[in-house]
Amino acid sequence: MAYRELTVTEIKEVLRIWLGGKGFRAVAAICGVDRRTARRYIEAAQRFGLQRRDPPSREDRRLLTDELIGQVAHALLPGRDSTPGQMRAHCLTHREQLLAWVEQDIKTPKIGVLLHRLTGVQVPERTLRRFVAEDLGRSRKPGPTVRVADGEPGKELQVDFTDLAWVIDPDTGKRRKLQALVFTPNVSRHCFVWPCWDQTTETIIEGMEAAWAFYAGVFEVLIPDNCKGIVAEADALTPRFARGFLEYMQSRDFFADPARVRTPQDKGRVERDVQYVQGSMWAGETFTTLPAAKEIALRWCLDVAGPRLHGTTYCKPAEDFAAREQPHLLPAPTEPYDIAVWGTAKVGRDQMLIVQKVLYSMPSALVGKTLEYRADRSTIKAYQGAVLVKVHVRGTLGKPQVDPADYPEEKLAYALRDTQILLRQAQAHGDSVAQMAQRLLDSPLPWSRVRHVYRLLGQCKTWGGAAVNGACRQLLALDLVDVTRVERIVARGLHDRPTPQPSPPAMGRVVPLRFARAPAEFAVRKQSNQGDSHDDG
């Protein structure tokens, strides 16, 4: 009988029969092995201390431990000729060149072509692959992995993006890649699929809101991929989240533990479900619109993926989730989430901050400062560092949001075109100044007369309100409304004179005017033309 390697039970049976007092031939016949094979295993066991007593005792069989069997099997493992074959020797001769090609990330089939071109010898691809893996240490096979425990029910939810296919976007009429967010709980594997167009923060939050409604609760820990909508800067230890998503985490009170970059093992459960979604839900289907894709995905999750018998847990995911995970979830949101947009902008010289093409007024002290803003559906908040400096109601295009409190008193009327502010400022210097300002603005286009009022108020600052008020009182008594005359009176010191009181003309008395003339001065005399007279003869 030819030599063959015995299994653990066969080795133990050979040694057990031998300890019972049988010889090599009898042991070989009973166990169905060659006599020389039986001899080799028995002699190897004797070298490791196994001895048979005379007469044989059944107690000796307790010496056949797993350690002894393992030592015997290892000692008799068949060896291999260490002399390399012709092709392997050829690879060893050109080892440095092969290593250089491997470090250039050249694939094994191409390496075979280059080696044949260089040496004229065609090395089989399998030989090259073994040489690259064993001698050069560049094995492309995945290394061993560690299966991670599921954890506590209702604790962790893994999420990943997957590409489905190219479809026609009905809004644009162009081909567009349809993607999907896939959610998988660690324990029950009750997956949820949310088709979408992109991977922005707004899309991710919309998909997660749909997931919380599907699961009727919020998981405490999310294990996502490192897409830019979630992670602004990837890091294995301290990832930096996108600001909008970080704010969403705070609102829904859950935590995120992103997987390491290019390490799908960190979220292996959802990675496996991604393949299942592509093969079961999408393959062979035709989706025309995004709402239709969402409806089909929801029905597939409820009618196909949920009721199936899972190949790992041997449970139906929907039933397992309802029994073990759903009671441990955080409460589901009751109000829709208001997605905020963060950004930075500089306050212009006009004290305006531009947020999404809409103007918002800022305090004058912030002119030239770069502020950070947060825009949601209803409000705009501006921050200088971590300090909130201004809050505005969300405006619309073409309608600036102006807060009068942001402007100094001297600029407020001009900024708002409010003549009432000018009148209140004039009233503070006296009744006559206020009356003069009112007369100046008494026009079908009052805004065109504002400069006159500004000049009047400027005179109050220069000469004092009392002096200007006296000058205005004199001019108003004469029914004169002239800012230049006010300045002339004050500059000449005539504002302290008593107010002139013009006496009305007496009844029946004609008051001579300054430029009046006698009626005779307007008489026209016609002179005769003497040259026209002549004698008849």
Instruction: Supply the DSSP string of 158-220, one letter for each residue.
Output: EEEEEEEEEEE-TTT-SEEEEEEEEEEETTT---EEEEES---HHHHHHHHHHHHHHHTSB-S
The pLDDT of residue 1: 41
Contacts of 405 (CB under 8 A, 6+ apart): none
Contacts of 451 (CB under 8 A, 6+ apart): none
Q: Which string of DSSP letters, residue by residue, matches 471-498? A: HHHHHHHTT---HHHHHHHHHTT-TTSP
The pLDDT of residue 55: 80
**pLDDT exceeds cutoff 90 at 303:** yes
The residue whose two tokens read 């008594």 is: 477
- Judge whether 503 and 465 are in contact, CB under 8 Å: no
At residue 80, the 3 state secondary structure works out as coil
Q: Using pLDDT thresholds of 50, 70 and 90, give the confidence band for residue 306.
A: very high
Sort 406 into a burial class: Cβ within 10 Å, 0-12 / 13-18 / 19+.
buried
In this prediction, what percent of the chain has a pLDDT beyond 90? 43
pLDDT one-digit tens code per residue, 347-363:
999 899 999 899 999 99
The pLDDT of residue 512: 64
The pLDDT of residue 83: 67
Whole-angstrom Cα distance, residue 370 to residue 383?
Answer: 9
Q: Which string of DSSP letters, residue by residue, matches 287-347? A: --SHHHHHHHHHHHIIIIITTS--TTT-S-HHHHIIIIIGGGSBPPPSS-----EEEEEE-
The pLDDT of residue 262: 87
Tokens of 215: 């699961």
Tokens of 150: 């599921």
Whole-angstrom Cα distance, residue 86 to residue 454?
Answer: 104
What's the chain's average pLDDT? 86
pLDDT one-digit tens code per residue, 151-207:
999 999 999 999 988 887 777 888 888 999 999 999 999 999 999 999 999 999 999
The pLDDT of residue 165: 81
**pLDDT exceeds cutoff 70 at 339:** yes
**In 370-506, which residue ranges form alpha helices assigned H by DSSP?**
409-416, 419-427, 431-441, 450-463, 465-477, 483-491
Which has the minimum average pLDDT: 12-21, 60-69, 182-191, 425-434?
A: 60-69
pLDDT one-digit tens code per residue, 447-458:
667 888 888 989
Q: Using pLDDT thresholds of 50, 70 and 90, give the confidence band for residue 75.
A: confident
Compute the average pLDDT of residues 7-24.
89
* Domain locations along the chain: 8-75, 89-134, 156-328, 341-407, 410-491
Whole-angstrom Cα distance, residue 454 to residue 441?
Answer: 11
Length of the chain: 537
Between 269 and 502, whose confidence is greater? 269
What is the per-residue burial (b if ≥16 Cβ within 10 Å, else e) of 160-183? bbbebeebeeeeeeeebebbbbbb
Contacts of 167 (CB under 8 A, 6+ apart): 175, 176, 178, 287, 288, 293
The set of long-range contacts for 207-213, using a CB threshold of 8 Å and a minimum separation of 24, is: 207/181, 208/159, 208/181, 208/248, 208/252, 209/333, 209/336, 209/337, 211/157, 211/159, 211/181, 211/183, 212/252, 212/332, 212/333, 213/332
The pLDDT of residue 536: 47
Whole-angstrom Cα distance, residue 148 to residue 133?
Answer: 28
Whole-angstrom Cα distance, residue 18 to residue 39?
Answer: 10
- Judge whether 195 and 301 are in contact, CB under 8 Å: no
The pLDDT of residue 233: 93
Whole-angstrom Cα distance, residue 227 to residue 180?
Answer: 13
pLDDT one-digit tens code per residue, 118-139:
999 999 988 888 888 888 877 6
Whole-angstrom Cα distance, residue 435 to residue 442?
Answer: 10
At residue 23, the 3 state secondary structure works out as coil
Can you give the pTM of this predicted structure?
0.60
The pLDDT of residue 82: 57
Compute the average pLDDT of residues 393-406.
89
Residue 529 half-sphere exposure, CB side, CA atoms within 13 Å?
3
In angstroms, the Cα distances linking 393 to 38, 225, 347, 364, 402 are 93, 36, 18, 19, 10
Whole-angstrom Cα distance, residue 47 to residue 80?
Answer: 23
Closest CA to 296 of 164, 166, 426: 164
Compute the average pLDDT of residues 40-66.
85
Closest CA to 336 of 160, 179, 202: 202
pLDDT one-digit tens code per residue, 273-295:
999 998 888 877 777 788 889 99
Assign a CATH topology to domain 156-328.
Nucleotidyltransferase; domain 5 (3.30.420)
**In 216-286, which residue ranges form alpha helices assigned H by DSSP?**
243-252, 268-276
- Cis omega (within 30 of 0) for bond into 55: yes
Compute the average pLDDT of residues 48-71.
84
